[in-house]
Chain A
C-alpha cells in the first residue's frame, strides 16, 4: 500500500516559503484556526497527484469551478512558481512525484517529474503515465474514497434532498455522469429541432398562401368553364386538343362557306402551345372575313356612302354660305342703294361741290374789286367825305362804314358756302365707301357662287350625271345614299349568318383559352408538388431527420448514462452497505437508528440518481435527522466507500478536511474511535480547526501520531507549520 511519507510545498496557494510536512505515523493531525493553510496542505497532495484534473468544472468540486478573479489559483500570489514534492512509500520502495507550475506560462510552465524506486526519473507525459500506473485510482474515486473535501460534508448537511443527491453522486465518484447529463441538457438539441421545424413551417405557410391564391384562380376558372358548358371531367388536355381539332375543321367549313381557301393550320402538339394556336386561329378568321366577297362589297358600299355623305355635307355648307352672302348684299343695296344710284349721288355731290367752289371764287373776286374801289375813293377824296357819290346823301364816315358793312357781308357768304362744301365732302366720302363695300360684297358673292359650282360639279362628277341650275344636288345625293343604305342592309342580312360561324369559332377558342388557363394553374400547382421531391428540399428534410435522429441517439445515450449511473451507485452502495451502516450507527449511537439503508432511484424530474435514506423500518430519515446526523451519514459513506474500495487501488491513506462540522461531542468521540480502527489499515490525515475534535484525537487515538499546528499565516511568508512533539 502506498502511503504518503512527506510533502514539500512551496509557492502553492497559501504557501509562500518551502514548508515540509511529514506523514510517517498512522495518524497525522493538522490543526489551527481558519485560513492558516491546513486545507492548502491537503490540496497540495491532491494537485501533485492529479494536476489540472482537480481544477475547474471537471473536478466536481464547487470552489474550483470559478473563472476570472474567482479562479482557483495554484500559484501563490507572492510567488512566481508553485512546486509540490510528494514522497510516497510502498512495498516496492519509495516514489517521488514533483509537480510544478510557473505563473502565467500556460502549458509551457507546467511540469511533472516522477522518480521511481530504482532511481529512474521520468518527466512530462512519461511522468504522467507513471503516476497513473502508480495510483490506479481516478481523480473522481480519489475524491470519493480518499480525500474527504470540506464542502462535501457542508453541502450534504445544509442542502435540499435533491442537492444531497448531487453530493451523493460526488461521494460515489459519479460526477462525470452528472456532468455529461448536464452538458446534454445545456446543449438543448431539441431547441435546434424546434427552430428548424418552425422555419420549415414558415416556408410551408408561404407556399400554402401561394397555393391558396392559385386555387382561388382555379376555382374561378372552373366556374367559368362550367358556365361555358365544360364538365369537371373535361377540364384536361385531351378535351383541349379535341377542341383544337374541331376548330380547325370549323375554320375549313367557314372558308368554304365564303368561297375561300384556308391556309394549313395544325393542332398544338400539347396544351402548352395553346396560346399560339389560338392566335393563329384568330388571325385566320380575321383574314377570311376580310377577304369574303360580301364583306368586301359591304365595305365598298360603306366607303361610297361615306363619300356621298361627305359631298352632301360639303354642298349644303357651301349653299348656306352663298345664301348668307347674297342676303348681306341685298340688305346693303336696300339700305344704300344700288351701285348706279350711289354713283349718281356721288356725282351730284361732286357737282355741287364744284358750284360752291365757283361761288366762293366769284364772291372773293367781287370782294377784291369792292376793296379796291373803296381804296380808290379814299385816295380821290382829300377830306372826310360824308356825301355819298351815288345818292348824294350826307353820311358821316361814309367809307369806313362801307368797308365794314361790305366785309361782314362777304365773310358771312363765304362762311356759309364753306359749311355747305364740308357737308358735301362728307357725303361724297360716304358714297365712295359704300361703293367700295358694294363692290366687295358683289365679289364675295361671286366667289361663293363659284365654290358652290365646284361642289355641284364634284357631285356631278361623282354621280356621273349632269346637274343644271334647276337640280337640287342635296336631294339627288340623299336619294343615292338611301339606295346604298338599302343595299348595305341586304348585304348585312346576308353576312349575319356567316358572322355567327366566326362567333362559334370564337366561343370554341374561348373554351380552349379557359382550359389552357386551368391546365397552366394545375401545372403550377403540380410544380409546387414537385418542390417536395427536389434535391434541395430532400436535403432539408434529411437535415431535419438527422437532427431528430441525433436527438433520439442523445436521448438513448442519456438513458444509458442514467442507467450506468444508477447501476454504479447501486453497486458501490451495495459493496459498502454494511460498512456505511456500521459507521453511521457507530457515530450516531442512537438506539432509534438500528440500520441505515440507502436506496437509489431514478429522479423522475432530472433522470439522475435520487438517494433515499431509510431506517430499519423503511422510514425515511432525512426529514427527521439533525445536521449532526446528516454529517454522520456523509462521513459514514465516505469512510465506508474508502474501506471497501481499498482493494481496488494501492493508496493506503485517507485525507479528511474538517470532518466534524456539525457533530456533537459524543459523535466526535465515536468518529475518533472509527478513525482509530481504520488507522490499522490506512494512514489517516485529519485537518481541523475544531479544538474539541483535536483533543479527542490526541486523547482517543491509540496509535502514534504526528501533529502539526498551523498558525501565523502571512501573505509574504505563508503559514507556520510547527510539528508538536
Chain B
C-alpha cells in the first residue's frame, strides 16, 4: 500500500472510524473498497455483506470460490470471533475456500490474503505475522495496486458521503451488497 493510500485511509478513519474498533463505518468502508478492487481484478459473483455472514464472496475466472473475512487494524494482531470462524465454515459447505483478508494501517503494509485450512483457523487474537505463511502472494500483489487506485479514485466522494456512496458504487458495477 502506498504512503498516499495510507494517508487517505487514515483521513477516512479519522472521520468514520472509532479508534481501536475494527468494525464500525470505517471497517465497512474498507471492506467495500476491497470489494471494488476485487471487481477491478476481474472477480465475478461478488457479494459484499454489511452484517451477517462472511464479509465478501468472490469467484475467480478459473471458477475458484473464495469467502473473505475482512479485518482492518492498526494493531499487530486481529481478533477472530467464533462467529467469524463459523461464518467461514458455513461458506465452505458451498464450495468456498476460507480467506482471512487483513490490512494493517501502517507504512509498507499490504493486504494479506491468507487462505487457511478451515481446521487451522483459531479463535481469539491472532498475530498478523502468523497469517503470512498462508498468504496468497500472487493475488495479494495484484490486489495492492488496484486497491491504491480504487482508494484514490473514490476518496473524495467517500469522505463527503461515506458508506452510502460506496453502496451505490457497488450496485453500479454489479456487486451484490447485502445489508
Contact = CB atoms under 8 A, between A and B. Distances in A.
Q: Do A and B bind each other?
A: yes
Interface of A: 190, 193-194, 196-198, 201, 204-205, 207-208, 211, 215, 525-526, 528-529, 531-532, 537, 544-545, 547-549, 551-552
Chain A interface SS verdict (over half): helix
A554 to B, nearest CB: 11
Contacts of B129: 193, 196-197, 544, 547-548
Given A208-B106, A528-B3, A544-B132, 18 more contacts: A190-B127, A193-B129, A193-B130, A197-B76, A197-B128, A198-B76, A204-B106, A204-B107, A204-B108, A204-B109, A211-B3, A211-B7, A211-B107, A529-B2, A529-B3, A549-B133, A552-B130, A552-B133
Contacts of A197: 76, 127-129
A211 B4 CA distance: 9
B176 interface: no
A197 B107 CA distance: 13
A545 B106 contact: no
Contacts of A207: 107-108
B3 A525 contact: yes
B177 interface: no
Interface string B96-109: 00000000001111
5 closest cross-chain pairs (CB), A and B:
A532-B108, A204-B106, A207-B107, A552-B133, A548-B132
25 contacts: A190-B127, A190-B130, A193-B127, A197-B76, A197-B128, A197-B129, A201-B76, A204-B108, A207-B107, A208-B107, A211-B7, A215-B7, A525-B4, A529-B2, A531-B108, A532-B107, A532-B108, A544-B129, A545-B132, A545-B133, A548-B132, A548-B133, A551-B133, A552-B130, A552-B134
A214 to B, nearest CB: 9
Interface of B: 2-4, 6-7, 76, 106-109, 127-130, 132-134
Contact of A211 (B6, B76, B109, B134): B6
Nearest to A198: B76
A552 B127 CA distance: 12
Q: Is the interface of B mostly helix, strand, loop or mixed?
A: helix
A149 to B, nearest CB: 39
A532 B148 CA distance: 15
Contacts of B132: 544-545, 548
Contacts of A528: 3, 107
A528 B106 CA distance: 12
Contacts of B2: 529
A211 to B, nearest CB: 6
Nearest to B137: A545
Nearest to A533: B108
Nearest to A209: B107
Contacts of A190: 127, 130
A532 B109 CA distance: 8
B46 to A, nearest CB: 28
A705 B93 CA distance: 68
Contacts of B127: 190, 193-194, 197
Contacts of A196: 129
A129 B134 CA distance: 45
A57 to B, nearest CB: 30
A551 B130 contact: yes
Q: Count chain B CB atoms within 10 A of each CB in A525, A529, A545 and give the residue with the most.
A: A529
A184 B50 CA distance: 41
B76 A537 contact: no
Contacts of B108: 204, 207, 531-532, 537
Contacts of B134: 552
Contacts of B133: 545, 548-549, 551-552
A551 B107 CA distance: 25
A193 B129 CA distance: 8
A532 to B, nearest CB: 4
A204 B106 CA distance: 6
A415 B25 CA distance: 129
A197 B128 CA distance: 9
Contacts of A526: 3
A547 B3 CA distance: 26
B125 to A, nearest CB: 11
Contacts of A532: 107-108
B3 A201 contact: no
Given A196-B129, A548-B130, A201 B7 contact: no
Nearest to B128: A197
Contacts of B7: 211, 215
Contacts of A201: 76, 106
